[in-house]
């Protein structure tokens, strides 16, 4: 009789326990579905990550050059616009000496698209303080298209001067050695020169020789080149003014001097001959890059070096 004196609470509690158990069993499958179901996952991913990023345009193999190591293309806006891939990244209005658009190589490296500044727009584009001078105009320049003044130039700033133009070189490597405090600067640089230098490095590697090239002199403005014209000096029609020439030497140890390439224990003109022969082998394999190759001995200012250009016709000087 004591059980009945609990005012009937024990049977009532038992009944409530059964009801709660049935409710939990009914809700359990729905809860599991909500936690693991595809609908919940999709909503979460969309809200967290958003839509997929657009694909980065990829440079064609042709833009990478014969060496496959070019990392920039330079051209007038009109010329660049003719390439369907480059067209997608060009700014709607020219942004000279500003941040250049970039795409990707097939291997995922950065590749820079550089619109040239037209020569006639130099002052308007902010290059009036940088003295360029005038390209030669005479019977020789009138007789060969390779002496036609460049259609435009690269506007180089302190911020973009370290932009890679190939795997081994940057814009800074080819700047004229004057007007150091004047910015922005003018640079003329032809991809065929970069291609030839990269292939020269490759040839040296193939021969088991040191291959780190140092550019002693790259582009020269006409006014700078004219300062050294004369017997034993710079040529009046130097290819350096056209952006397809460089004076180079191998300098792995970074001492600013040619390395001992022939292994005779000293550095002299004979090491330039080793570099010259390697450049000639590059031309033999890639005739489209034919040009000038000249050797120079050391003096009180610099060590031996080799002039390399891609003028389109064969030229040789030095021993």
pLDDT (tens digit per residue) in 188-243? 999 999 999 999 999 999 999 999 999 999 999 999 999 988 766 789 999 999 99
Number of domains present in the structure of the chain = 2
Is the pLDDT assigned to residue 31 strictly greater than 70? Answer: no
Query: Residue 233: its pLDDT value, please?
Result: 75
Does residue 36 lie in a domain region?
Answer: yes
Q: What is the dihedral of CA 201, 204, 209, 214, to 10 degrees?
A: -30
* Residue bearing tokens 């050391």: 298
Same domain, 178 and 102: yes
| Separation CA 224–CA 57 (nearest Å) | 39
pLDDT band at 41 (very low <50, low <70, confident <90, very high): very low
Within 10 A of 267 (CB to CB), how many other CB atoms are there? Answer: 19
Same domain, 78 and 157: yes
Same domain, 41 and 111: no
pLDDT band at 25 (very low <50, low <70, confident <90, very high): low
Same domain, 31 and 69: no
Same domain, 30 and 163: no
Same domain, 89 and 171: yes
Task: Quick: pLDDT tens for 276-286.
Answer: 999 999 999 99
pLDDT band at 92 (very low <50, low <70, confident <90, very high): confident
| Separation CA 13–CA 104 (nearest Å) | 72
Query: Residue 261: its pLDDT value, please?
Result: 98
Does residue 151 lie in a domain region?
Answer: yes
Does residue 55 lie in a domain region?
Answer: no
Same domain, 35 and 69: no
Query: Residue 50: its pLDDT value, please?
Result: 65
Find out whether 268 and 295 touch, Cβ atoms under 8 Å.
no
Query: Residue 270: its pLDDT value, please?
Result: 98
Is the pLDDT assigned to residue 5 strictly greater than 80? Answer: no
Spell out the SS3 assignment of the chain: CCCHHHCCHHHHHHHHHHHHHHHHHHHHHHHHHHHHCHHHHHHHHHHHHCCCCCCCCECCHHHHCCCCCECEEEECHHHHHCCHHHHCCCCCCCCCCCCCCEEECCCCCEEEEEECEEHHHCCCCCCCCCCCCCCCCCHHHHHCHHHCCCCEEEEECCCCCCCECECCCEHHHHCCCCCCCCCCEEECCCHHHHHHHHHHHHHHHHCCCCCCEEEEECCCCHHHHHCCECCCCECCCCHHHHCCEEEEEECCCCCCCCCCCCCCCCCCHHHHHHHHHHHHHHHHHCHHHCCEEEEECCCCCCCCEEEEECCCCCEEECC
Same domain, 164 and 104: yes
The arithmetic mean of pLDDT across residues 299-312, rounded, is 96
**Dihedral pair phi/psi, residue 281, rounded to 5°:** -70, -35
Same domain, 75 and 30: no
The arithmetic mean of pLDDT across residues 128-134, rounded, is 96
Same domain, 236 and 127: yes
Does residue 54 lie in a domain region?
Answer: no
Query: Residue 148: its pLDDT value, please?
Result: 96
Is the pLDDT assigned to residue 35 strictly greater than 80? Answer: no
Does residue 266 lie in a domain region?
Answer: yes
Same domain, 118 and 37: no
Find out whether 156 and 132 touch, Cβ atoms under 8 Å.
no
Is the pLDDT assigned to residue 123 strictly greater than 80? Answer: yes
pLDDT band at 157 (very low <50, low <70, confident <90, very high): very high
Is the pLDDT assigned to residue 63 strictly greater than 80? Answer: yes
Does residue 240 lie in a domain region?
Answer: yes
Is the pLDDT assigned to residue 48 strictly greater than 60? Answer: no
Same domain, 147 and 115: yes
The arithmetic mean of pLDDT across residues 160-166, rounded, is 97
Domain enclosing residue 194, as ranges: 61-317
Task: Quick: pLDDT tens for 243-264.
Answer: 999 999 999 999 999 999 999 9
Task: Quick: pLDDT tens for 164-196.
Answer: 999 999 999 999 999 999 999 999 999 999 999
Query: Residue 42: its pLDDT value, please?
Result: 45
| Separation CA 76–CA 114 (nearest Å) | 8
Does residue 56 lie in a domain region?
Answer: no
Query: Residue 6: its pLDDT value, please?
Result: 40
């Amino acid at each position: 009789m004591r059980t009945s004196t609990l005012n009937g609470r024990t049977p009532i509690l038992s009944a409530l326990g059964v009801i709660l158990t049935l409710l939990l069993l009914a809700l359990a499958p729905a809860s599991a579905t909500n936690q693991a179901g595809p609908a919940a996952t999709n909503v979460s991913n969309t809200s967290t990550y958003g839509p997929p990023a657009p694909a980065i345009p990829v440079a064609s193999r042709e833009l990478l050059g014969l060496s496959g190591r070019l990392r920039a293309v330079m051209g007038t806006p009109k010329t660049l616009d003719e390439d369907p891939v480059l067209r997608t990244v060009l700014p709607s209005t020219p942004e000279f000496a500003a941040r250049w658009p970039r795409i990707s190589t097939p291997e995922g490296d950065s590749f820079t698209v550089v619109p040239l500044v037209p020569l006639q727009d130099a002052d308007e584009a902010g290059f009036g303080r940088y003295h360029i001078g005038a390209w030669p105009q005479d019977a020789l320049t009138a007789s060969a298209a390779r002496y036609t003044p460049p259609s435009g130039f690269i506007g180089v700033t302190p911020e973009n001067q370290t932009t890679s133009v190939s795997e081994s070189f940057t814009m800074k490597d080819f700047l004229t050695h004057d007007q150091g405090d004047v910015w922005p600067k003018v640079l003329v640089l032809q991809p065929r020169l970069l291609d030839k230098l990269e292939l020269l490095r490759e040839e040296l590697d193939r021969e088991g020789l040191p291959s780190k090239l140092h550019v002693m002199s790259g582009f020269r403005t006409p006014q700078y080149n004219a300062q050294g014209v004369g017997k034993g000096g710079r040529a009046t029609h130097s290819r350096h003014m056209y952006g397809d020439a460089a004076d180079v030497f191998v300098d792995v140890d970074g001492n600013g001097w040619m390395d001992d390439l022939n292994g005779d224990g000293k550095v002299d003109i004979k090491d330039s001959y080793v570099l010259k022969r390697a450049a000639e082998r590059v031309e033999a394999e890639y005739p489209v890059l034919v040009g000038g190759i000249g050797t120079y001995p050391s003096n009180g200012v610099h060590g031996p070096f080799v002039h390399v250009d891609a003028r389109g016709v064969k030229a040789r000087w030095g021993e």
